């Protein structure tokens, strides 16, 4: 039985992942596996801490989110569920209800 509130759509898009930190940011390549109106799942070679703020960049779109969970995956990688907090497209932005 599906427990998700919203339908997810498979995308498999390569992105630049930035973990935003108080002292410094970390950068990594990543892949968005699927996306819904309120979140996305990302595959990364770095483990993401629950609650961490992350930014993914794809072409002219940037999505800011908060990590809800991160689990080990195959081949020294991790999958993380991220709740979207802001979408920035070119010069416009949209903040979702958090």
SS3 58: strand
pLDDT of residue 58: 87
pLDDT in tens, 72-95: 998 899 999 999 999 988 654 444
Q: Domains of the chain: which residue ranges? A: 9-89
pLDDT of residue 64: 96
pLDDT of residue 46: 93
Tokens of 15: 């992105």
Q: Which residues on adjacent β-strands are paired with residue 28?
A: 17
Is 9-89 a CATH 2.40.10.220 domain? yes
State the pTM of this model: 0.82
DSSP letter at 91 equals T
Report which secondary-structure segment, H or E, holds 80.
strand 78-89
């Amino acid at each position: 039985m599906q427990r998700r509130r919203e339908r997810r759509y498979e995308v498999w898009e390569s992105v630049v992942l930035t973990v935003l930190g108080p002292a410094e940011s970390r950068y990594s390549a990543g892949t968005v596996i699927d996306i819904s109106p309120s979140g996305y799942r990302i595959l990364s070679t770095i483990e993401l801490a629950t609650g961490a703020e992350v930014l993914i960049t794809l072409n002219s779109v940037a999505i800011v989110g908060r990590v809800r969970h991160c689990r080990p995956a195959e081949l020294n990688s991790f999958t993380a569920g991220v709740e979207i907090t802001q979408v920035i497209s070119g010069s416009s932005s949209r903040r979702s209800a958090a």
